[in-house]
Amino acid sequence: MTLQCAAAWQRPPGGGPSHEGCLYRNGIKRVLDVLLASTMLLLLSPLFLALMLWIGLDTKGGVFFRQKRVGRGKRYFEILKFRTMRADAPRDVPTHLLAEPDRYITRPGRFLRRTSLDELPQLLNILKGDMSFVGPRPALWNQFDLIEARDRYGANDVPQGLTGWAQVNGRDEVSIARKAELDGEYAKKISFLFDCKCMLLTVGSVLRHRGVVEGGTGELERRTKERGALNTAEEINDARNG
């Protein structure tokens, strides 16, 4: 139990996280994540297998795209997504800067990106405990500006999520500073009802394809060049889009 939550048992109402909020944050949330992820993997297994088969038959390369991300407590883990680009995509070039971007995005990839189904494998990350359904979106290991900004709001100290408060309030349309502020707001307000609100708003955002901007926000590209670059065009593009 965190010191903040331990202190909540002696704090008057309205002075910080509630007792119920601390119980949810430190136990109930994880139990619900496991139950929901297990149920969804079971129910969606036919779709999961069909997408794997489609990706595998369409182009050479692995079915999954793995990427180093920053989890709770700034611990690293590998996030999983369905692969959406060809294995021969140019290295270190964002998708929108390619001379022929459509040449490298696969047919399944277009569909997966449009529907956000490329995120489906993250149910495995949730089941493993790397992520939660709701929380700040895991930053790429070298999104230094976002990581530093989140530190100021305590947003690196909570479970990172498949979706979050920043995701449903602009996603790539907001600045890094604003994104970190929204993530911090979530970190302070974690509760069952707030998580439900985020998930319901996410469904609406996905259906409207709202908030996704090619290129995203922040200083990733400049600072990546300074510190060593990412590995593939898909990795740079994916890092920008969260």
Q: pLDDT (tens digit, 9 = 90+) per residue, 59-78?
A: 998 999 999 999 999 999 99
The model's pTM is 0.77
pLDDT of residue 47: 98
Alpha-carbon distance of 239 to 242, in angstroms, equals 5
Per-residue pLDDT, averaged over 180-205, amounts to 95
pLDDT tens digits along 4-59: 454 443 343 444 455 566 889 888 999 999 999 999 999 999 999 999 999 999 99
Burial per residue of 198-223, b for 16 or more beta-carbon CB atoms within 10 angstroms, e otherwise: bbebbeebbeeeebbeeebbbebbee
Number of H helices, E strands in the chain: 12, 5
Kindly state whether residue 4 falls inside one of the protein's structural domains.
no
Pairing between β-strand 139-140 and β-strand 64-70 as defined by DSSP bridges? antiparallel
Kindly state whether residue 19 falls inside one of the protein's structural domains.
no
Q: Where are the beta strands (DSSP E) in 75-204?
A: 76-82, 132-134, 139-140, 161-163
Percent of the chain scoring above 70 in pLDDT: 73
| Number of domains observed in the structure of the chain | 1
Residue 96 banded pLDDT, cuts 50, 70, 90: low
Residue 3 banded pLDDT, cuts 50, 70, 90: very low
Kindly state whether residue 199 falls inside one of the protein's structural domains.
yes
Kindly state whether residue 10 falls inside one of the protein's structural domains.
no
Kindly state whether residue 5 falls inside one of the protein's structural domains.
no
Q: Are 216 and 240 in contact (CB under 8 A)?
A: yes
Question: Which of the residue ranges 25-29, 64-68, 138-142, 238-242 would you say has the lowest mean pLDDT?
Answer: 238-242
Alpha-carbon distance of 179 to 242, in angstroms, equals 12
Q: Range of 78's domain?
A: 29-241
Instruction: Inform me whether the pLDDT recorded for 109 exceeds 50.
Output: yes
Kindly state whether residue 6 falls inside one of the protein's structural domains.
no
Q: In this structure, what token pair is assigned to residue 190?
A: 């974690």
Sheet of strand 139-140: strand arrangement:
76-82, 64-70, 139-140
Maximum average pLDDT range among 11-25, 32-46, 80-94, 156-170: 32-46
pLDDT tens digits along 199-210: 999 998 887 765
Residue 102 banded pLDDT, cuts 50, 70, 90: confident
Amino acid making up residue 41:
L
Kindly state whether residue 22 falls inside one of the protein's structural domains.
no
